[in-house]
């Protein structure tokens, strides 16, 4: 009887040890599962906009360091570490989405559709941060002066956000209204600057008054280039789109020649034709006067 009682007790004890081990293993599996679930969830949370912009800065900074102000240095280092974690594709796709809107000149309704489609395609970054503001600075010209290069250099800075394409609001699309114009702008956080560039503003006579009506505090940036080289660049672009265009000389001079032969019957020979747009744009002083005549800009034009 004694042995009989002892054996079952021994077996029960053995089973208890086994169940303890299995409970322990089950707990390890559950904890591991929970750990992976939680880390996976964190990965899918939207990143702050500032992180995303660091991607843009990183991608474009191929020639050397960007000189950030003291207040941005800590943030810049933090962004670099974030960069290693983020998949490039997601960040960049969403980052350029707003520029794409401007590129396609979409009205605000279509823009909303684009944002919806990005969320439905499981792009995890959010482009709802910040607000759309009118540009505080506009590169108004000159055409073929290197305006694209300047804008791209400026937008490397994380606090500069710019429309990718030329909005042409103050010359072509003014009748669409200011709200349409603002809808083209990228979202910005406090302290960030909104910019755009449309070189044809410089030679649009209504543009100074229109920009001033939007805000008299808007900073204007004009990049100038040797007017002859600029005209040649302008002509080359037109020629590439218009085969059969008359020669540069034929267009640049009245009567189509630079020669001022004394035997010529025409007194117009050798006179530059300022009515030709490639030349007219290069008469910088004339256009600049129109901008400077608008009160405040007399002092603050860059
Ligand atoms: N950093 C720098 N310095 C000087 N010149 C530069 C610079 N970057 C671009 N470029 C030249 O600028 C020309 C393009 O100017 P834009 O960007 O203003 O063209 S556009 O008006 O937007 O079409 C174009 O000139 P061309 O090559 O003669 O056509 C560019 O080569």
Residue nearest to atom 19 of ligand 1 (CA): 144
Spatial CB neighbours of 164, under 8 Å, sequence gap ≥ 6: 96, 99, 100, 102, 103
Q: What is the pLDDT of residue 194?
A: 98
Confidence of residue 255 (pLDDT cuts 50, 70, 90): confident
The Å distance, Cα 149 to ligand 1 centre, comes to 7
Residue with the bigger pLDDT between 63 and 27: it is 27
Q: Would the CB of 91 count as within 6 Å of ligand 1?
A: no
In this structure, what token pair is assigned to residue 144? 């073929």
Q: What is the pLDDT of residue 273?
A: 95
β-pair partners for 137? 195, 219
Please provide the size of the chain in residues. Answer: 302
Q: What is the mean pLDDT of residues 41-57?
A: 39
Q: Would the CB of 287 count as within 6 Å of ligand 1?
A: no
Q: Is 103 exposed, middle or buried (0-12, 13-18, 19+ CB in 10 A)?
A: middle
In this structure, what token pair is assigned to residue 38? 């939680």
Q: Which atom of ligand 1 is nearest to the CA of 145?
A: 18
Q: What is the pLDDT of residue 267?
A: 66
The helix, strand and coil proportions of the chain, stated in percent and rounded to the nearest 5, come to 55, 10, 35
Closest to 162 (Cα-Cα) out of 190, 145, 128, 139: 139
Residue pair 186/96 in contact by the 8 Å Cβ criterion:
no
- 83-87, 154-158, 183-187, 258-262, range with the lowest pLDDT: 83-87
Most confident of 41-45, 67-71, 90-94, 250-254: 250-254
Does residue 36 surpass a pLDDT of 90? no
How confident is the model over 155-178, as pLDDT tens digits? 999 999 999 999 999 999 999 999
| pLDDT, mean over the chain | 72
CA distances from residue 95 to 4, 25, 53, 192 in whole angstroms, order as listed: 77, 45, 7, 15
For the chain, the domains span: 49-225+292-300
| Beta pairing, strands 131-132 & 187-188 | antiparallel
Residue with the bigger pLDDT between 37 and 22: it is 22
Q: Would the CB of 233 count as within 6 Å of ligand 1?
A: yes
144 among known catalytic residues: yes
ipTM more than 0.90? yes
Q: Which atom of ligand 1 is nearest to the CA of 230?
A: 28
Q: What is the pLDDT of residue 280?
A: 98
- CA gap 245, 234 in Å, rounded: 13
Angle at alpha carbon of residue 135, lines to 132 and 141, rounded to 5°: 145
Dihedral sign from CA coordinates of 100, 218, 193, 108: negative
- 25-39, 43-57, 251-265, range with the lowest pLDDT: 43-57
Residue 147 marked as a ligand binder: yes
Residue with the bigger pLDDT between 18 and 235: it is 235
Residue with the bigger pLDDT between 15 and 144: it is 144
Q: What is the pLDDT of residue 67?
A: 34
- 45-59, 83-97, 119-133, 175-189, range with the lowest pLDDT: 83-97
The Å distance, Cα 225 to ligand 1 centre, comes to 9
Choose the residue to mutate in 233, 235, 278 for probing ligand 1, maximizing ligand atoms within 8 Å of C-beta. Answer: 233
Residue 160 backbone phi and psi in degrees, to 5: -115, 120
Q: What is the mean pLDDT of residues 82-101?
A: 32
How confident is the model over 166-223, as pLDDT tens digits? 999 999 999 999 999 999 999 999 999 999 999 999 999 999 999 999 999 999 999 9
The Å distance, Cα 270 to ligand 1 centre, comes to 28
Q: What is the mean pLDDT of residues 249-273?
A: 74
Spatial CB neighbours of 257, under 8 Å, sequence gap ≥ 6: 249, 250, 269, 270
| Percentage of the chain exceeding pLDDT 90 | 48
Choose the residue to mutate in 138, 145, 224 for probing ligand 1, maximizing ligand atoms within 8 Å of C-beta. Answer: 145
In this structure, what token pair is assigned to residue 83? 């960069």
């Amino acid at each position: 009887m004694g042995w009989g009682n002892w054996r079952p007790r021994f077996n029960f004890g053995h089973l208890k040890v086994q169940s303890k081990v299995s409970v322990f293993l089950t707990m390890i599996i559950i904890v591991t599962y929970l750990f992976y679930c939680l880390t996976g969830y964190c990965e899918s949370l939207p990143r702050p906009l500032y992180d995303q912009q660091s991607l843009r800065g990183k991608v474009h900074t191929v020639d050397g360091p960007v000189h950030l102000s003291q207040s941005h240095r800590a943030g810049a280092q933090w962004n670099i570490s974030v960069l290693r974690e983020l998949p490039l594709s997601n960040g960049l796709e969403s980052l350029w989405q707003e520029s794409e809107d401007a590129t396609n000149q979409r009205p605000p309704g279509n823009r909303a559709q684009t944002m919806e489609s990005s969320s439905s395609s499981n792009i995890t970054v959010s482009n709802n941060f910040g607000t759309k503001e009118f540009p505080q600075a506009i590169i108004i010209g000159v055409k073929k002066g290197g305006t694209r290069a300047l804008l791209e250099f400026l937008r490397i800075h994380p606090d500069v956000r710019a429309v990718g394409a030329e909005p042409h609001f103050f010359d072509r699309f003014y009748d669409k209204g200011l709200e349409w114009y603002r809808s083209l702008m990228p979202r910005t956080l406090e302290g960030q600057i909104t910019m755009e560039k449309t070189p044809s503003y410089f030679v649009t006579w209504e543009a100074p008054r229109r920009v001033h009506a939007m805000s008299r505090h808007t900073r204007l940036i004009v990049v100038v280039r040797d007017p002859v080289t600029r005209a040649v660049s302008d002509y080359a672009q037109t020629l590439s789109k218009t085969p059969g265009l008359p020669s540069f000389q034929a267009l640049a001079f009245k009567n189509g020649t630079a020669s001022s032969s004394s035997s010529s019957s025409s007194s117009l020979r050798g006179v530059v034709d300022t009515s030709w747009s490639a030349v007219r744009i290069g008469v910088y002083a004339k256009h600049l006067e129109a901008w400077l005549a608008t009160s405040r800009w007399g002092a603050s034009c860059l």
